[in-house]
Chain A
Amino acid sequence: MKKDNMVAMILAGGRGSRLYDLTKKVAKPAVYFGGKYRIIDFPLSNCANSDISVVGVLTQYESVLLNSYVSKDQNWGLDAKDAGVFVLPPREKDDTGFGLYRGTADAITQNIDFLDQNEADYVLILSGDHIYKMDYAKMLAAHKAANADCTIAVMEVPLKEASRFGIMNTNEEDIIVEFEEKPAQPKSNLASMGIYIFSYDVLRQYLVEDDQKADSNHDFGKDIIPALLNTGKKCLAYRFEGYWKDVGTIDSLWEANMDLLNPENILDLADPSWKIYTEDVNELPQFIGANGVVDNAYITEGCVVDGEVKNSVLFTNVKVEEGAQVIDSVVMPNCVVKAGAKLVRCLVQENTIIPEGVELGHENSDKIDLITYKNAKKEG
């Protein structure tokens, strides 16, 4: 086994209930993003680009699609000899029977055997529902340099929004002295990004202890991190500067997609040195027809545009027929916008057909309209 082996564990069991119908049949990490990706492509590609070879994916809610999606590890180049993506849903056990994951920490506790098997020296805990690019190797280097027990990635947020996050109060060496979950009166603006590196021996001990506590939520933020701090373990705040977005609501998902239209966007998906990998859909390149009008758009393979697309993001295989208009909208894979239909400020669920002449969404709406294959017929 290689030296300083870091195993990544991606928490991908959440539903993301504020995404409504988008997560009715799939967990949030499997939701589409950015034309050709799914959200979980981001942590998986970050792992691959950070030279991590073993990635466990902890799934629970509606996991059939997600399990088969991530198990194709060749899509992220995680299929080398010693590498792999391992799907870890809850399982039946000899002593405790079948138990769902009771919290983020419990999901790891129940897979301690997996971490033991892979001879982890460090464990990287990630969440499967954020959009960002990050070199975890640099974070590990900081963890080792500081001789820390736990390193938590943090980013500066506007102070007035800090009460929505888990806030780290640190000393001048960025050592965390206090952690407050959604504080009413935040003392700092360093928010936790839900990305942790633990030295495995320390993590293992705290997970086993936490498992015995009857009153614990078995959660990293609520239980494990406070326990480490209370017992004097060294927790380092690792400052991240760059694009990071939690796409937990229809509005924030729409907004993060629209961010891609800005050529100055620091996420820069076109950067060849840090590619985001995804499944290969094997579609034709995109066709812009003789009647097509494309103005400020982000379009991917398989699309056929013979109508007007303005300030919008089209996902794989979207068809925009002649005379149709797609404005300020995000249209997920395999949708058809029929002739004469009009979408304004909409987010359209995959596989939806917008019938001829139907107009949906409003120019001045304060909320983005979610169009599903059930409500697509509604006249706007």
Chain B
Amino acid sequence: MYEALGIVNFENSDVTVGGLTDYRPVAALSFLGRFRMIDFVLSNMTNSGIQNIQVYTRYGGRQLFEHVGRGSQYNINPKRGKLQLLTSDKQFRNDVYNHDIAHFMEHMRFIEASKCPYVVIAPSYFVHCCDYSEVIKHHVEAGNDITVVYSSLENADKNCLECDTLTLNEEGRVTAIAPNIGKNKNVELSLETYVMERKFFIELVKKADETSALYWLKDIVRDVCDEVKVGGYKQTNKVCCVSSLRTYHLNHMELTNHVAAEEIFKPEWPILTKTNDSAPTQYAPGSKVKGSLISNGCFIEGTVENCVLGRNVVVKKGAVIKNCIISADSFIGENAKLENVVVDKDAIVNHVKKLNGTADAPIYVKRADRI
């Protein structure tokens, strides 16, 4: 067992989930009703035995502070472990300077003070189960300087255009990293999850800072892959990439199927989150619910097909919602008809409204909107 410092990185600026990310970072985005995106990476870390974790956030600290807290819900030992939420005091007006390297430099003393020999860096916009202790083991055995976790992606010509792809040689060494420009159907997708020695990481961050004022961590990793040994670690579990409103909607629709969801939620790998103490959900007489994933605290009188409902959602009589994601505390009024709509928190969609999006272009209803 190798001791590692966990670093939850924020996503690059290309990753935006429609209007949802106007209000919160991707890390704090709700996923499958009761979870938030960050639950997956944090659970992966604590399930892998990582007890010291730094969460970097570019903006929107409030939701993360409230949700993550001291991290005891993730099994972080309140005395021996530590979860640090690191926001930035140096926000630049020009957003191109607000990159992860700037944040790492700002908080360098915390990274330097850590006693852990290794670091695991991972973002929260990929939903998957990943045992980082296996990645570290592979990293040490392969003698890598940097190990990048990747996943084979089909339909890369349409999906994950915000991400990077890897070129690997026969020994599993990464020879090139390039943005996914949608040219190929099948690619090896970088999950932006890196393992390296902590000291190496510190040097790499400093090097990035010296090289360019605009560099992100992934840029310097791309630069050094012909100088140092960058190895790949293939993730064979199912990976959901949430990098746009369309993929957010698409992944949710896929996971309303219980069998598909079992590929992500495994009994031996619990995904932990904060409880909200909502009562069970009430299905009124005459309600029709099919193929859906429903959180607690809902009250349903209408028709719900292939939807994901967050906590405390109300669906009134005569309302028909299909292929929708309704976030927590929202209200769907009598006879409202919604198809392929993503409704943000606390919204009220009142009766005789008809909203029809498509799977390729779902409609987004803003937080606390009344329509």
**Which residue numbers of A lie inside 8 Å of B, CB to CB?**
34-36, 74, 260-261, 263, 269-270, 275-278, 280, 282, 284-292, 294-301, 304, 306, 313
Which residue of chain A is the closest to B261 with respect to CB atoms? Answer: A284
Q: Which of these binds chain A: B91-99, B226-234, B286-294?
A: B286-294
Known contacts A270-B297, A304-B258; A285/B34 CB under 8 A? yes
Chain B interface size, as a band, is 35 or more
- Given A287-B256, A288-B289, A270 contacting B279 (CB threshold 8 A): yes
Decide yes or no whether B73 CB sits under 8 A from chain A.
yes
A290 touches B281 (CB 8 A): no
Report the Cα distance A288→B257, complex, angstroms. 9
Q: Chain A residues near B296 (CB, 8 Å)?
A: 36, 285-286, 300-301
* One of B1-9, B114-122, B243-251, B265-273 at the interface: B265-273
B279 and A263 form a contact (CB under 8 A): no
For the A-B complex, the count of residue pairs with Cβ-Cβ distances under 8 Å equals: 106
CB distance from B254 to the nearest CB of A (A): 13
Scan residues 135-153 of chain B and give those whose CB is less than 8 A from a CB of chain A: none
CA of A356 to CA of B108 in the docked complex: distance in angstroms? 61
Nearest-neighbour CB distance to chain B for A98, whole angstroms, equals 35
Within residues 208 to 241 of chain B, which ones have a CB less than 8 A from any CB in chain A? none
**CB of B123 within 8 A of chain A?**
no
- CA gap between A74 and B294 in the complex, in Å: 26
Q: In the complex, A35 Cα to B277 Cα: how many Å?
A: 12
Q: Given A282-B273, A284-B265, A285-B33, answer yes or no on A270-B294 (Cβ-Cβ < 8 Å).
A: no
Least Cβ–Cβ distance between B77 and chain A, in angstroms: 14
Contact flag A270-B282 (CB < 8 Å), given A287-B261, A287-B293? yes
- Between A and B, 27 residue pairs with Cβ closer than 8 Å are A34-B279, A35-B279, A260-B280, A260-B282, A263-B282, A263-B284, A263-B299, A278-B277, A282-B271, A284-B293, A285-B34, A285-B308, A285-B309, A286-B281, A286-B293, A286-B295, A288-B291, A290-B257, A290-B291, A292-B291, A294-B287, A295-B287, A296-B283, A297-B283, A298-B282, A298-B283, A306-B258
Q: For the complex, what is the distance from the CA of A34 to the CA of B277, rounded to whole Å? A: 13
Distance between Cα atoms of A289 and B72 in the complex (Å): 33
CA A282 to CA B271, docked complex, whole Å: 8
- A270-B278, A298-B283 provided; 4 other pairs, C-beta below 8 A? A263-B284, A287-B261, A287-B293, A313-B280
Closest to B292 in A: A288
| A282 pairs with B281, CB closer than 8 A | no
A55 CB, min distance to chain B CBs, angstroms: 18
Chain B CB within 10 Å, residue with most, of A263, A270, A275, A292: A270
Say yes or no: B270 contacts A298, CB within 8 Å: no
Does B13 sit at the interface, judged by CB under 8 A?
no
* Among candidates B72, B281, B291, residue contacting A299 with C-beta atoms closer than 8 Å: B281
Question: In the complex the two chains form, is A285's CB within 8 Å of B272's CB?
Answer: no
Interface contact A285-B294, CB-CB below 8 Å: yes
Contact with A280, one of B73, B271, B284 (Cβ below 8 angstroms): B73
Which residue of the partner chain B has the closest CB to A279? B275
Distance of A334 from chain B, by nearest CB (Å)? 12
Cα distance A297–B283 in the bound complex, in angstroms: 5
Chain A residues with Cβ below 8 Å from B281 are 286, 298-300
A296 to B294, CA, bound (A): 15
For the complex, give the distance between the alpha carbons of A288 and B286 in Å. Answer: 15
Chain B residues with Cβ below 8 Å from A282 are 270-273, 275
The 8 closest A-B pairs by CB, nearest first: A35-B280, A300-B280, A269-B279, A280-B275, A296-B285, A287-B258, A285-B33, A285-B295
Q: How far, in angstroms, from A285 to B283 measured CA to CA in the complex?
A: 14
Neighbouring A residues of B258 by C-beta, 8 Å: 287, 289, 304, 306
Q: Which residues of A contact B292 (CB under 8 A)?
A: 287-288
In the bound complex, do residue B283 and residue A294 qualify as a contact, i.e. CB atoms below 8 Å apart?
Answer: yes
Q: Does B163 contact A (CB under 8 A)?
A: no
Is B280 in contact with A299, judged by CB distance below 8 angstroms?
Answer: yes
User: Which residues of A have CB within 8 Å of B272?
Assistant: 282
* Distance in angstroms between the alpha carbons of A294 and B286 in the assembled complex: 9
Q: Are B284 and A296 within 8 A (Cβ)?
A: yes
Q: Separation in Å of the A19 CB from the closest CB of chain B?
A: 21
Neighbouring A residues of B280 by C-beta, 8 Å = 34-36, 260, 269, 298-301, 313
Give chain A residues whose Cβ lies under 8 Å from the Cβ of B282. Answer: 260-261, 263, 270, 297-298
B189 at the interface (CB under 8 A from A): no
Residues of A within 8 A of B270 (CB): 282
Residues of A within 8 A of B291 (CB): 288-290, 292
Residues of B within 8 A of A269 (CB): 279-280
In the complex, what's the smallest C-beta–C-beta distance from A1 to chain B, in angstroms?
A: 26
Let me know if B277 and A285 touch, CB within 8 A: no
Residues of B within 8 A of A294 (CB): 283, 287, 289
Q: CA A35 – CA B282 in complex, angstroms?
A: 11
| Docked-complex contact A285 and B32, CB < 8 angstroms | yes
Residues of chain A lying within 8 A (CB to CB) of residue B283: 294-299
B290 partner residues in chain A, CB cutoff 8 A? 288-292
Closest Cβ–Cβ distance, residue B35 to chain A (whole Å)? 9
A289 to chain B, nearest CB (A): 6
Enumerate chain B residues within 8 angstroms of A35, measured Cβ to Cβ.
Answer: 279-280
Distance between B296 CB and nearest chain A CB, rounded to angstroms: 6
- CA A298 to CA B270, docked complex, whole Å: 25
Q: Among B270, B273, B278, B309, which residue has the most Cβ atoms of chain A within 10 A?
A: B278
A277 — which chain B residues lie within 8 A by C-beta?
277
Complex Cα gap A304–B265 (Å): 14
The residues of A that contact B256 with a CB separation of less than 8 Å are 287
In chain B, positions 67-85 with a C-beta closer than 8 Å to chain A are: 72-73
